[in-house]
Amino acid sequence: MDKLFVGMTSQQIIQYIIQHMIMFGIGGFLIYLAIKKEYEPMLLLPIGFSTILVNLPLSAVLEYEGTPGVLKILFDAGIATELFPVLIFVAVGAMIDFTPLLANPKMLFFGAAAQFGIFATTVIALLLGADSLKVASAIGIIGAADGPTAIFVASKFAQKYLGPITVAAYSYMSLVPLVQPPVIRLLTTKEERMIRMEYKDVKVPKTVKILFPIFVTVIAGIIAPISVPLVGLLMFGNLIRESGVLERLSKAAQNELANIVTILLGITIGSTMVAEDFLQPTTLIIILGGLAAFVFDTAGGVLFAKFLNLFLRKKVNPMVGAAGISAFPMSARVIQKMAQKEDPSNFILMHAVSANVAGQLGSIIAGGLILALVPLLTG
């Protein structure tokens, strides 16, 4: 304890204690949300505990007497190198079933519309005082509604804020049932929310399911080469799933790989939640920006659907546009629930699922474009 306060005035000591008590409170609150409210417990619990670990006196998990601690070693090996987020993409790819999207590819456009929040929030974050375009775009990427993409972009552009960005991304994803409905209700009429959509059961050939991840990787790789670690590894996971000959590997990616990397990712991201970095005005911008991102994503999807309805003979239920975010399957469920609230016999779940899967693709493409464009703009 003597070493801890060497050279500090009594005022600095009090400030240090208060800051660290706040961080313990935040860590405890994240653990509470994970256990009691079940808000993304797989990530919020390790992050919450790690927040407590790194704010203990002398933070031995980060560094002790010049030797790197375990969380510092994990950070350098898994986050600084982007290894952990990329491995998570393999797992996520093995979990995604693109069949609803392949059967109804029109929904891809909703997956594009609902990425609007990412870019709008980048502008808003700068207006609110974000340090730079890189930090602003790392805040905007919360609107990807996709944890691994947010982590990947933030680890490139704003490592210092990786903790709060990840916490905001996962927290708002779990709050989709609270964030989306008011925005949708504000932008649609009851009649629009009652629009029925015809669903055709289209059989998707296995060959298409196998070729899809390969072609997507090639196209994305040509358009934005820097997006290949994201798109390529996601599609690799998906190819393992769809090949039909790698059942064991597919299950390993979905379970063992996902679980191990999630544990390491959570506790390592939490290691960035040190008081000195977290208790800054930028954290407030991240929290506000995250909410704005989800609101603008939802609005982007709904307004795009309404715009299409000006030209379409068979109208689209505009709520489906809101499902174009990546939070799968939560957003699709929210939309179906809202549709049934207006008309119990209306069933738009399959369309919403297609849009939701498109959102998973759209968010990664948006992340890849940000990774490609921002360095060009910042020089």
Partner 1 sequence: MFESIVHASELTKSLFLMVVGVAGVYATLALFYLMVKLLMKAFKDHDA
The contact set with partner 1 (CB under 8 A) reads 101-102, 105-106, 108-109, 111-113, 115-116, 118-120, 122-123, 126-127, 132-133, 136-137, 202-208, 211-212, 215-216, 219-220, 223-224, 358, 361-362, 365-366, 369-370, 373-374, 376-379
Q: Give the residue among 115, 116, 159, 117 at the shortest CA–CA distance from 135.
A: 159
Min dist CB 125 to partner 1, Å, is 8
* End-to-end CA, the chain: 45
Min dist CB 156 to partner 1, Å, is 15
Torsion over CA: 52, 53, 54, 55 (sign): positive
**Nearer to partner 1 among residue 77 and residue 211 (C-beta):** 211
Region class of 248: left (phi > 0), else alpha (psi between -120 and 50), else beta: alpha
Min dist CB 369 to partner 1, Å, is 5
Min dist CB 297 to partner 1, Å, is 12
- E-strand spans in the chain? 63-64, 67-68
Longest dimension (CA), the chain: 76
- The two counts, helices (H) then strands (E), for the chain are 21, 2
**Nearer to partner 1 among residue 49 and residue 116 (C-beta):** 116
**Nearer to partner 1 among residue 54 and residue 216 (C-beta):** 216
**Nearer to partner 1 among residue 66 and residue 205 (C-beta):** 205
Helix/strand/coil for 204: coil
**Nearer to partner 1 among residue 83 and residue 102 (C-beta):** 102
β partners of residue 64:
67
Min dist CB 373 to partner 1, Å, is 6
**Nearer to partner 1 among residue 53 and residue 370 (C-beta):** 370
Total Cβ atoms within 10 A of residue 206: 10
Q: Which amino acid is at 202?
A: V
Total Cβ atoms within 10 A of residue 143: 34
**Nearer to partner 1 among residue 113 and residue 267 (C-beta):** 113
Residue with tokens 């790392």: 138
Min dist CB 34 to partner 1, Å, is 32
Min dist CB 99 to partner 1, Å, is 10
DSSP secondary structure letter of residue 317: P
